[in-house]
Structure 1
Amino acid sequence: MKINKLKFLLEYPKFRLELNKLNDIIFFFPFYQFGGAERVHINILEVSKDLGTSCFITENSANEFFRKEFEKNTHLIPYFKLKTKKYKIYTRQIAMAINKKKSPVVFGCNNTLFYDILPLLKSHVQIIDLIHAFSYEEPFSSEKVSLPMAEKIDVRVVLGEKTKNDFRNLYLSNNISEHLTERIKIIKNKVDIPERLSAKFYTKTLKVLFVARNSFEKRPHYIIEIAKRCIEKKIDVEFNVVGDFETTFSDLKNIKIIGPIDSKQKMQEIYQAHDILLITSFREGFPMVISEGMAYGVIPVSTDVGEISEIVNSRNNNGIIISDFNLPLYSLSKERISGKFLNYENESLVINDFVNALKTLYENPKLRKEYSNNAYETAKIFFSKEKFYNSYKNILVNKKSST
Structure 2
Amino acid sequence: MDDNNIILSPVPIGSGAYVLHKQLASHLNNYKIIGYHPRLEFFPFVLPFIFSNKGAALIHTTPDYALFFRRRKSPLILTIHHYMGETEGRQYSTFFQKIHYSTDLKLFSKISFSLADEILAVSQYTAEHIRKEIGLKKNIQVIYNGIDTGYFRPVPVSATNDSRIRVLFSGNLSKRKGAQWLPAIADRLKEGIVIRYTCGLRRTKANIDHRRIEEAGYIDEREMPYLYSSHDILLSPAVREGFGLAVAEAMACGLPVVASNCSAIPELIDHEKGGFLCDVGDVSAFAERINQLSESKELRKEMGEYNRKKIEKLFTIDKMVKNYAKIFDKYL
TM-score, structure 1 normalization: 0.67
Matched, 1:26 2:8: yes
Residue 322 of structure 2 corresponds to 390
Q: Distance in 2 between matches of 1:53 and 1:275?
A: 37
The alpha-carbon deviation at position 377 of structure 1 amounts to 0.8
When residues 149 and 267 of structure 1 are mapped into structure 2, their CA distance, relative to the original with a 3 A threshold, is closer
Residue 237 of structure 2 corresponds to 280
Amino acid across the alignment from 1:29 = V
Q: Deviations over 1:84-123 (max 9, x none)?
A: 9xx47x74x689x64x75x7211112642x22343xx32x
Q: Distance in 2 between matches of 1:147 and 1:273?
A: 43
Residue 115 of structure 1 corresponds to 67
Higher alpha-carbon deviation: 295-304 or 131-140: 131-140
Q: Distance in 2 between matches of 1:226 and 1:205?
A: 16
Secondary structure of residue in 2 paired with 1:369: helix
When residues 128 and 369 of structure 1 are mapped into structure 2, their CA distance, relative to the original with a 3 A threshold, is same
Matched, 1:229 2:188: yes
The correspondence for 2:121, drawn from 149, 153, 158, is 158
Q: Distance in 1 between matches of 2:41 and 2:286?
A: 42
Q: Deviations over 1:41-88 (max 9, x none)?
A: 32122233x11535152533xxxxxxxxxxxxxxxxxxx49969xx47
Matched, 1:354 2:283: no
When residues 142 and 382 of structure 1 are mapped into structure 2, their CA distance, relative to the original with a 3 A threshold, is farther
Matched, 1:292 2:265: no
When residues 94 and 227 of structure 1 are mapped into structure 2, their CA distance, relative to the original with a 3 A threshold, is closer
Q: Confirm or deny: 8 A CA contact 1:241 1:256 kept in the other structure.
A: yes
Matched, 1:259 2:239: no
Task: Look at both structures and tell me which one has the larger radius of gyration over its CA atoms.
Answer: 1
Matched, 1:190 2:146: yes
Secondary structure of residue in 2 paired with 1:165: helix
Q: Distance in 2 between matches of 1:81 and 1:152?
A: 19
> Which segments of 5 or more consecutive residues in structure 2 lack a partner in the other structure?
91-100
Q: Deviations over 1:211-235 (max 9, x none)?
A: 11233311312112211222xxx34
Secondary structure of residue in 2 paired with 1:53: strand
Amino acid across the alignment from 2:78 = D
When residues 158 and 318 of structure 1 are mapped into structure 2, their CA distance, relative to the original with a 3 A threshold, is same
Amino acid across the alignment from 2:38 = E
Q: Distance in 1 between matches of 2:219 and 2:326?
A: 32
Q: Distance in 2 between matches of 1:186 and 1:215?
A: 27
Amino acid across the alignment from 2:10 = F
The correspondence for 2:165, drawn from 175, 194, 206, is 206
When residues 106 and 166 of structure 1 are mapped into structure 2, their CA distance, relative to the original with a 3 A threshold, is same
The correspondence for 2:27, drawn from 29, 34, 47, is 47
Q: Deviations over 1:8-61 (max 9, x none)?
A: xxxxxxxxxxxxxx983221212x23x54432232122233x11535152533x
Between Structure 1 and Structure 2, which shows a larger proportion of helix residues? 1
Residue 95 of structure 2 corresponds to none
Q: Distance in 1 between matches of 2:277 and 2:104?
A: 26
Q: Distance in 2 between matches of 1:82 and 1:255?
A: 34
Q: Confirm or deny: 8 A CA contact 2:9 2:21 kept in the other structure.
A: no
Residue 105 of structure 1 corresponds to 58
Matched, 1:307 2:260: no
Q: Distance in 2 between matches of 1:384 and 1:320?
A: 22
The alpha-carbon deviation at position 140 of structure 1 amounts to 4.6
The alpha-carbon deviation at position 302 of structure 1 amounts to 0.8
CA-atom RMSD in angstroms: 3.3
Residue 111 of structure 2 corresponds to 148
The alpha-carbon deviation at position 355 of structure 1 amounts to 0.7
Q: Distance in 1 between matches of 2:196 and 2:59?
A: 39
